[in-house]
Structure 1
Amino acid sequence: MGTMANAESYILAIGTKKGLWLAHSTDRKEWSLNGPHFLMSEIPSIGIDTRGDSPRIMVGVRSEHWGPTVAHSDDLGATWTEPDQGAISFPKDTEAALERVWQIYPDAESRPGVVWAGCEPISVWKSTDGGEHFELNRGLWDHPHRSEWGAGYGGAAAHSIVVDPSGEKVHIAMSTGGVYRSLDGGASWEARNKGISAYFMPDPNPEFGQCVHKIAADAAVDGRLYAQNHHGVYRTDDGGENWESIAEGLPADFGFVMLTHPRRSGTAWVVPLKADGERIPPDARLAVHRTDDAGGTWKRLETGLPDHEYNAVLRDAAAVDTAEPVGVYFGTRGGEVYASADEGESFTEVVSHLPDVLCVRAAVVSGAAVPAGAASA
């Protein structure tokens, strides 16, 4: 497979129920596509690490025959590497086996090589070699609440990991269980769900047990995070000690997506769905909603999106890049993928008729050699 060099280019990684596709662009409007990679394997998670000399793409791969693992590519998908014994393997004393890798999270620029993973069964893992080998976080695995964490509709997922610049404060979210926070880099964890509703439980305001669908951190305000819950959209300004609703102004408070601006305070995006029992866009009209004032008001963004859509957008089937203006991307369970080069003001279709889109990640890959043509793995 050949390559093309570009001074300024973008990569969009699309994980589906039946493989991985990679799209490339120089303007975030016209895209070239290659794939499938890992055909017939589920790709529920993707991480693009741009901290090194060349970008590393890491993917959680789940084969019905071979099982789950993490593979990586240092040449934008031309070749893939997978550890012989698997990147993630539960210690024998846990009597557990890996079912799925739900999240791959490259850490801060100041901690090169550190990559986090969230998995099923509910667990958090950490790598110090760029995602080639991961170690189980025992503080969370041995937590006294673990036996009471349950599975959401899609499975038992540790699906969100947010690490602050110091590396000491870490937030995770799980379905089901809610938000947990560590103040010592992951050595110990405490539930932090005050204000987040669990209306489906006998006590609608428990310490833990919430079905939080996604969390994301504000880039410029320390301690501020946003959460999309199983019915409910929330913000905390004190690191999770207290959460307040910011759903007013949205057409519905159900959904899976929560994205935040990589630099600007107060900007976040959600993709509302009608309800847990009717998982379609409200009125079957697909739209992204953006706040620029930390949830005080919301703006509906639908230019370029179809008039009718009955497919949902899953929690990790949406992403932002770090360009200026920021790009916003998402894919549907119907296999359509959309891109915006203007923070959601307008969208173009990248590709359609893919399998069920599970995960989308985007990155600026300035100066990188970008694969050209079709490829498979």
Structure 2
Amino acid sequence: MRETVQVLLGTKKGAFVLESDAARTAWDLRGPYCETWPINHVIADPATGALYGAGGNAWFGPAVWRSTDGGTTWTHSSRGLAYAAGEAPVASVWSLAAGHGRLYAGVEPAGLFVSDDAGESWTHVEGLQRTPSRPEWNPGGAGLILHSLVLHPDDPKQIWVGISAAGVFHTADGGETWEPRNRGTRADFMPEGQNYPEHGQCVHCLVMAPGKPERLYQQNHCGMYRSDDGGRSWASVEKGLPSSFGFPAAVHPRDPERLFLVPLNGDTAGRYMPDAQAAVWRTEDGGGAWTAAREGLPQRNAFFNVLRQALATDRLAPAGVYFGTGSGEVYASRDEGGAWTRIAEHLPTISSVETFVARG
């Protein structure tokens, strides 16, 4: 059966699709789609193959786009993507997750919405707004955004979210109630003696290990962490990395011990590749040791960054790894980071990278 690999890109000027066969040696670029709206996240629903794009801004308002033909045509809806009258309006949709027959959307200002009809209409998951700490949440550099959405693979009632700058929260009852799960993660920007609060951390990216729902990895503004108990406690795994600061994280599709990161040089030092030398860092033991993958990546004048959703893996063997840059380049590795090739350039700022492998 023929396999087709799609690399789905959200950019500041629409969605793009890179496509290849399973060899992953030649890529075709299609787009821009979604009428060149700012698109923050593009995903595929693995159950249906439908593509979804999250976007909008204060000018357009929020919307989720949908394509059922591989990206050739798109429609969008914002029906129900709104808070109650008198509350701050939803400016944009920043994250999407599909699972258990539902589609979830994380928005700015931070909140969660769910759709049971493939994005045609949306319902506010109000329980998150009732979290006692909600009045104390503060915006990160890009705003108060729910940018990480992690669904339990077997239990539809369990969801984890990451919010800047509020932290990680978990629900076990489908969104009625939520609890903070930030113990062990730092907030260096807080006053002295308050660096490990119950909430208020600036989580950048939250991902779940394959086959181990309780194993979570988190790239934070203030460190890299692993949890083996569903986020109830976190341990630092940043030793051996060139920086404690970065945005994205991506798990291996089959091995829960393998993780990929793109550290930057620091939050106040320019937020580009350390020493202006591009590298993807990887671990094979859950963060115990790290090595840099550099072959094929620029080792001079690499002053670009990689945003929080712009690193992904595919499910082929060996796994492909992909990242998109703030300067509009996409790099790919067919061998789990061993060697890299630039497969696209001159695109708008890339906000997100996801993959989908179709069979047919």
Q: Which bin holds the TM-score, normalised by the shorter protein?
A: over 0.9
AA matched with 2:296: G
Aligned partner of 2:281 among 289, 292, 302: 289
TM-score normalised to the size of structure 2? 0.94
Conserved in 2, the CA contact under 8 Å of 1:69 and 1:88?
A: no
Conserved in 1, the CA contact under 8 Å of 2:204 and 2:220?
A: yes
Three-state SS of the structure 2 residue aligned to 1:194 is coil
Whether 2:251 is the aligned partner of 1:260: answer yes
Q: Deviations over 1:198-243 (max 9, x none)?
A: 0111111111000010111111224110100102000111111111
Q: Distance in 2 between matches of 1:65 and 1:90?
A: 15
Decide whether aligned partners of structure 1 residues 302 and 88 sit closer, same or farther in structure 2, where only a CA change above 3 A counts.
Answer: farther
Conserved in 1, the CA contact under 8 Å of 2:55 and 2:94?
A: no
What residue is the counterpart of 1:139 in the other structure?
127
Shift of 1:149: 0.8
AA matched with 1:190: E
TM-score normalised to the size of structure 1? 0.90
Shift of 1:92: 3.0
> Matches of residues 217-228 of structure 1 in structure 2 within 5 Å?
217-228=208-219
Shift of 1:145: 1.2
Conserved in 2, the CA contact under 8 Å of 1:311 and 1:332?
A: yes
Conserved in 2, the CA contact under 8 Å of 1:330 and 1:360?
A: yes
What residue is the counterpart of 2:2 in the other structure?
7
> Matches of residues 81-120 of structure 1 in structure 2 within 5 Å?
81-83=75-77, 86-93=78-85, 95-107=87-99, 111-112=100-101, 114-120=102-108
Whether 2:54 is the aligned partner of 1:60: answer yes
Shift of 1:169: 2.3
Three-state SS of the structure 1 residue aligned to 2:135 is helix
Q: Distance in 1 between matches of 2:56 and 2:15?
A: 11
What residue is the counterpart of 1:247 in the other structure?
238
Q: Distance in 2 between matches of 1:96 and 1:302?
A: 44
What residue is the counterpart of 1:19 in the other structure?
14
Aligned partner of 1:152 among 140, 156, 179: 140
Three-state SS of the structure 1 residue aligned to 2:75 is coil
| CA RMSD across the alignment | 1.5
Three-state SS of the structure 2 residue aligned to 1:147 is helix
Whether 2:24 is the aligned partner of 1:28: answer yes
Conserved in 2, the CA contact under 8 Å of 1:320 and 1:328?
A: yes
Shift of 1:166: 1.3
Aligned partner of 2:42 among 41, 46, 53: 46
Three-state SS of the structure 2 residue aligned to 1:365 is strand
Conserved in 1, the CA contact under 8 Å of 2:57 and 2:92?
A: no
Q: Distance in 2 between matches of 1:81 and 1:127?
A: 15
Shift of 1:68: 2.1
Conserved in 2, the CA contact under 8 Å of 1:90 and 1:96?
A: no
AA matched with 1:350: I
AA matched with 2:291: K
What residue is the counterpart of 2:206 in the other structure?
215
Whether 2:161 is the aligned partner of 1:167: answer no
Q: Distance in 2 between matches of 1:104 and 1:295?
A: 27
Shift of 1:284: 0.6
Aligned partner of 1:75 among 64, 69, 73: 69
Q: Deviations over 1:88-119 (max 9, x none)?
A: 42243462321111101111xxx23x111111
Q: Distance in 2 between matches of 1:170 and 1:63?
A: 26
Aligned partner of 1:303 among 295, 307, 311: 295
| Structure 1 runs not aligned, ≥5 long | 1-5, 368-377
Conserved in 1, the CA contact under 8 Å of 2:58 and 2:92?
A: no
Shift of 1:77: 1.4
Shift of 1:67: 2.2
Q: Deviations over 1:19-58 (max 9, x none)?
A: 2211110122210111111354211111211202xx1110
> What number of residue pairs does the alignment pair up?
354
Conserved in 2, the CA contact under 8 Å of 1:14 and 1:359?
A: yes
Q: Deviations over 1:157-194 (max 9, x none)?
A: 11111121212322111000011111212211011111
AA matched with 1:209: G
Q: Distance in 1 between matches of 2:208 and 2:283?
A: 14
AA matched with 1:249: G
Q: Distance in 2 between matches of 1:188 and 1:140?
A: 7
Q: Which piece of structure 1 moves more, 270-279 or 316-325?
A: 316-325
Q: Percent identity?
A: 40
> Matches of residues 336-347 of structure 1 in structure 2 within 5 Å?
336-347=329-340
| Structure 2 runs not aligned, ≥5 long | none
